[in-house]
């Protein structure tokens, strides 16, 4: 019976993936022309212009609006903390999660300032709290000893994230920021990234919330042991997630997929959300079109993951570089007001023609509308994405 239910869940996920199509390049081109008509030096707002163009393509509307904004924080615990890979215990996850409800977290304070609605979600904490509950299980298992979760649980968590994104679209939200709370989740993220990128754990594993040298070595060893023990398959993202991942990663990956299904932008936060996005892109490459990068986390693996997501050189990864590594969606929320400043110029500024100024000539041949993934057999509209 369990196997049959699991197969049905995977079929449901596959149907969702088939529903994802690339962003509209014609609408993106219209947004580019609007930017190029504005009476200022061409491309002079850099990433802000590119992101607005990308949002136009995502939504299918060059009249971009970001009036209703949400931060979705996936809260979950990770059994691998048993291996001494963190400074604190799992009890901290529940404490911080409930503080989201009282507004007493960094992300909550920043959301109030930025006009963002905050939605914490319990997708897998070991403790029951007042946080809205879509719990898949009470924390993952310690992947050093056994797989973090079953394949069916991993798929359920992804589908849960998809549904959350779809619900927020129905509620009128125009952009979704993603964040997480869960002690031990830089360990799970490093493990997932290591497999999906084909890198050694030592290359992309950092100190998280301030591990000393001994703690860092325990963390790397735990990841190496988990990968060696369970042999997660890089060509099967769900297998990787189930064996060495986390429920917060699964939920955020689902939100990325749901954003693509509903043609709504998803703003990434730091390393953990970047890994969730990487997982979603491995499930369906066209998801790349619907992701916005807020900042480059100081975790060593962050740049590697973002380069995979954007196909850009290390020096060209577009995102604020503020040395942040707090999580909770703080980086995503921090970038939103900056993006909205750019949007105000796009919406309100007069054109060269209106000012009776000759248009600038574009000698750079730069075309921000073409920054999205190239059309390939893997992501042309109507072509199914494969799990």
Domains and CATH numbers, the chain: 65-342 (3.40.50.10210)
How many of the other CB atoms lie within 10 Å of CB of 41?
8
Helix (H) or strand (E) holding 9: helix 2-18
pLDDT digits (tens, 9 = 90+) for 287-321: 999 999 999 998 889 999 999 998 654 445 667 88
Looking at residue 275, its pLDDT comes to 98
Q: Average model confidence (pLDDT) for the chain? A: 91
Cα dist. 166→159, 193, 206, 271 in Å? 11, 26, 33, 24
In three-state secondary structure terms, 18 is: helix
Phi then psi dihedrals of residue 177, to 5 deg: -95, 145
Write down the residue that tokens 């892109």 correspond to: 281
Question: Under a CB-based contact definition with an 8 Å cutoff, are residues 174 and 219 in contact?
Answer: no
pLDDT digits (tens, 9 = 90+) for 131-187: 999 999 999 999 999 999 999 999 999 999 999 999 999 999 999 999 999 999 999
How many of the other CB atoms lie within 10 Å of CB of 369?
23
Say which of 328, 340, 366, 377 is annotated catalytic: 328
**How much of the chain is helix, strand and coil, in % rounded to 5?**
50, 10, 40
Contacts of 316 (CB under 8 A, 6+ apart): none
Looking at residue 319, its pLDDT comes to 76
Specify whether 328 is catalytic: yes
Cα dist. 169→88, 172, 214, 257, 264 in Å? 36, 5, 45, 13, 7
Write down the residue that tokens 């369970």 correspond to: 230
Looking at residue 381, its pLDDT comes to 36
pLDDT digits (tens, 9 = 90+) for 321-337: 888 989 999 999 999 99
Write down the residue that tokens 């750019």 correspond to: 342
- Look up the pTM and report it: 0.92
Concatenated DSSP letters of 47-85: HHHHHHHHHHHHHT-SS----SEEEEEEEE--GGGGGS-
**Residue 141 CA neighbour count, 13 Å, CB half:** 17
């Amino acid at each position: 019976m369990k196997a049959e239910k699991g197969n049905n869940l995977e079929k449901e996920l596959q149907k969702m993936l088939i529903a994802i199509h690339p962003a509209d390049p014609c609408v993106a081109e219209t947004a580019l022309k609007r930017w190029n008509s504005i009476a200022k030096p061409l491309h002079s707002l850099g990433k802000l212009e590119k992101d607005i163009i990308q949002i136009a393509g995502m939504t299918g509307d060059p009249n971009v609006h970001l009036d209703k904004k949400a931060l979705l924080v996936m809260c979950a615990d990770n059994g691998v903390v048993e291996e001494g890979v963190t400074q604190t215990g799992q009890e901290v996850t529940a404490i911080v999660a409930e503080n989201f409800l009282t507004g007493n977290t960094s992300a909550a304070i920043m959301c109030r300032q930025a006009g963002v609605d905050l939605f914490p979600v319990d997708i897998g904490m070991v403790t029951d709290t007042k946080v809205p509950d879509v719990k898949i299980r009470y924390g993952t298992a310690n992947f050093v000893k056994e797989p973090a979760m079953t394949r069916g649980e991993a798929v359920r968590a992804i589908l849960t994230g998809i549904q959350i994104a779809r619900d927020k679209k129905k509620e009128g939200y125009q952009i979704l920021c993603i964040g997480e709370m869960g002690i031990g989740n830089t360990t799970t993220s490093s493990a997932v990234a290591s497999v999906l990128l084909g890198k050694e754990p030592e290359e992309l594993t950092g100190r998280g919330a301030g591990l000393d040298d001994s703690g860092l070595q325990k963390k790397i060893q735990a990841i190496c042991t988990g990968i060696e023990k369970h042999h997660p398959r890089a060509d099967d993202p769900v297998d990787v997630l189930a064996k060495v991942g986390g429920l917060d990663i699964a939920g955020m990956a689902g939100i990325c997929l749901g954003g693509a299904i509903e043609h709504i932008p998803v703003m990434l936060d730091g390393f953990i959300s970047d890994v969730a996005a990487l997982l979603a892109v491995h499930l369906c490459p066209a998801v790349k079109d619907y992701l916005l990068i807020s900042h480059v986390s100081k975790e060593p693996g962050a740049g590697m993951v973002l380069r995979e997501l954007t196909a850009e050189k290390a020096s060209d990864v577009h995102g604020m570089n503020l040395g942040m590594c707090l999580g909770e969606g703080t980086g995503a929320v921090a970038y939103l007001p900056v993006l909205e400043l750019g949007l105000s110029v796009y919406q309100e500024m007069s054109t060269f023609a209106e000012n009776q100024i000759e248009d600038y000539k574009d000698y750079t041949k730069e075309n921000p509308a073409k920054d999205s993934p190239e059309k390939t057999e893997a992501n042309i509209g109507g072509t199914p994405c494969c799990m």
